[in-house]
Amino acid sequence: MDWRRKLNNVTHREPLNLLWLQSGGCGGCTLSLLNADCSNLFDTLAGFGIRLLWHPSLSEGSATEARSIIDDCMSGATPLDILCLEGAVLRGPHGSGGFHRTTGGDSMMSIIRRLAGIARHTVAVGSCAAFGGVTAAGCNPSDACGLQFEGDSPGGLLGWDHRDSSGLPVVNIAGCPTHPNWVIETLAALASGGLNGQCLDIFQRPRMYADHLVHHGCTRNEFYEFKASAHRPSDLGCLMENLGCKGTQAHADCNIRLWNGEGSCVRGGYACIACTEPGFEEPGHLFAETPKLGGIPIGLPIDMPKAWFVVLASLSKSATPKRVKENAVADHQVVVPAVKRMRPK
Answer for which of 2, 5, 77, 139 binds another protein (CB under 8 A) is 139
What distance, in Å, lies between the first and last C-alpha atoms of the chain?
Answer: 54
Q: Is 299 in the site for another protein (CB under 8 A)?
A: no
Q: Which residues pair with 18 in a beta bridge?
A: 52, 82
Question: Least separation, in Å, of the C-beta of 168 and another protein?
Answer: 27
Say how many residues touch another protein, by CB under 8 A.
Answer: 84
CB atoms within 10 A of CB 311: 11
Q: 3-state class of 92 per DSSP?
A: coil
Answer for which of 28, 49, 154, 321 binds another protein (CB under 8 A) is 28
Which of 74, 70, 36 is closest to 56 using CA atoms? 70
Q: Is 165 in the site for another protein (CB under 8 A)?
A: no
Nearer to another protein, 67 or 316 (CB): 67
Cβ atoms of 90 and 142 within 8 Å: the answer is yes
Q: Which residues pair with 51 in a beta bridge?
A: 17
Question: Least separation, in Å, of the C-beta of 214 and another protein?
Answer: 12
Q: Is 30 in the site for another protein (CB under 8 A)?
A: yes
Tell me which residues in 247-266 interact with another protein (CB under 8 A): 258-266
Cβ atoms of 50 and 18 within 8 Å: the answer is yes
Which of 224, 242, 223 is closest to 232 using CA atoms? 242
Q: Is 167 in the site for another protein (CB under 8 A)?
A: no
Q: 3-state class of 75 per DSSP?
A: helix
Nearer to another protein, 7 or 34 (CB): 34
Question: Among 117-125, 153-161, 217-225, 285-293, which window interacts with another protein (CB under 8 A)?
Answer: 285-293
Tell me which residues in 74-113 interact with another protein (CB under 8 A): 90, 93, 96, 98-103, 108
Question: Least separation, in Å, of the C-beta of 165 and another protein?
Answer: 27
Cβ atoms of 182 and 127 within 8 Å: the answer is no
Q: Is 159 in the site for another protein (CB under 8 A)?
A: no
Which of 272, 277, 209 is closest to 240 using CA atoms? 272
Tell me which residues in 34-53 interact with another protein (CB under 8 A): 34-43, 52
Q: Is 58 in the site for another protein (CB under 8 A)?
A: yes
